[in-house]
Structure 1
Amino acid sequence: MQPLKTNAMRALEQRRIPYTAYYYDAALHSGIAVAQAIGVPPEQLFKTLVVQREQGRPLLAIIPSHRELDLKRMAAAAGEKRVRMATQREAEALTGLQVGGISALALLPKGWPVFLDAAAQHFEELYVSAGQRGINLRLRVADLIAITGARLAALTTAERPAR
């Protein structure tokens, strides 16, 4: 059986951006559990969150799996007074993707504004969702920024120890 190909993978291939796919049990929901399953440090595995503005289109925040989004920092980075996390239902309705599988790469055709936590600068490569639960992609940070137009900003609260 051939491994599943997602729209995120197709987008990378179309632009000749190298990546490696990592498959894991889609029942895993914690970023830390996913990092353990694919054998990578949790600080190098990034999750994608949907953030709602008071008005206008939603934003995507890509942050390390073991950290929490700081809404004040996110608002400042986006030039907004206030932002809030989208509910699971909102995130899934807006993206057409399941929480745990939301990917800026899969949403490229929609042109969502993307923000990448500054912690990404500490790595040459990172791991992000492939647009479906159970698949993550390893790619160069520079390539992720180039393809998504992500803006780097300090988006998270202080690091919490990995569990």
Structure 2
Amino acid sequence: MPREKIAKTNAARLLDRQGVPYALHRVEVDERDLSALTVAARLGVDPAQVFKTLVARADRAGVIMACIPACAELDPRALASACGSRHAELVPLAEVRPLTGYVRGGCSPLAGKKAYPVFLDESALLWERIFLSAGLRGVQLELAPRDVAAACGAVFVKLTRE
């Protein structure tokens, strides 16, 4: 049976322009469960290898993005510290699309409406390749963590709670 062709997203086109190697994967989407844990299960990979992109606002840095493993919880203090702020909190869901151009379950640190500072949890470096949203629900990019960082200027830092 021929493999279904996956349409390129803006994030994939950005990687193409930068000459970054990646693979696109499609997973079934259930609008009632858009969690990264479900995406990891559908991909058949360790949840620690799938990174969700969270949009936050910091008191000094403004809007920022944090990419953390599907199985982890963001430490807002660590994120604030990473961007030189005292306080950071997730933006309300209603603000995600106007700020990034992406919807919940399809938010990518790559090729958004505006290039915000991106912080990638340092655990990504434990993997040869990680998965993150390609900017569309149900479509995931698989690529090397350092390539993600190079493509969007991400900084590696510990962002999760123990």
User: Under a length normalisation based on structure 2, what TM-score does the superposition of the two structures give?
Assistant: 0.92
The one of 16, 19, 23 aligned to 1:13: 16
Give the residue type in structure 1 aligned to 2:7. L
Compute the displacement of 1:119 (Å). 0.7
Q: How does 1:50-65 map to 2 (within 5 A)?
A: 50-54=55-59, 56-65=61-70
User: Quick check: 1:79 aligned with 2:84?
Assistant: yes
The one of 141, 151, 156 aligned to 2:155: 151
User: Quick check: 1:31 aligned with 2:36?
Assistant: yes
Contact 2:6–2:24 (Cα < 8 Å) also in 1 = no
CA RMSD of aligned residues (A): 1.4
Contact 1:50–1:86 (Cα < 8 Å) also in 2 = yes
- The residue that corresponds to 2:137 in the other structure is 133
Compute the displacement of 1:121 (Å). 1.3
Q: Deviations over 1:73-121 (max 9, x none)?
A: 11111110111111111112211110111101122x7221000001111
Partners of 2:24 and 2:47 lie apart in 1 by 17
Q: SS state of the match for residue 110, structure 1? A: coil
How many residues in Structure 1 have an aligned counterpart in Structure 2? 157
* Cα separation, partners in 2 of 1:138 and 1:89, compared to 1, 3 Å: same
Partners of 2:73 and 2:132 lie apart in 1 by 16
Contact 2:66–2:120 (Cα < 8 Å) also in 1 = yes
Contact 1:129–1:136 (Cα < 8 Å) also in 2 = yes
Partners of 1:106 and 1:65 lie apart in 2 by 21
Compute the displacement of 1:2 (Å). 4.2
For structure 1, the 5+ residue unaligned runs are 159-163
Q: SS state of the match for residue 77, structure 2? A: helix
Contact 2:61–2:85 (Cα < 8 Å) also in 1 = no
Mean Cα displacement is larger for which, 40-49 or 97-106? 97-106
Give the residue type in structure 2 aligned to 1:34. V
Mean Cα displacement is larger for which, 20-29 or 50-59? 50-59
Give the residue type in structure 2 aligned to 1:133. R
Contact 1:106–1:130 (Cα < 8 Å) also in 2 = no
Compute the displacement of 1:3 (Å). 2.2
Compute the displacement of 1:5 (Å). 1.3
Compute the displacement of 1:48 (Å). 0.3
Structure 1 runs (4+) greater than 3 angstroms displaced: none
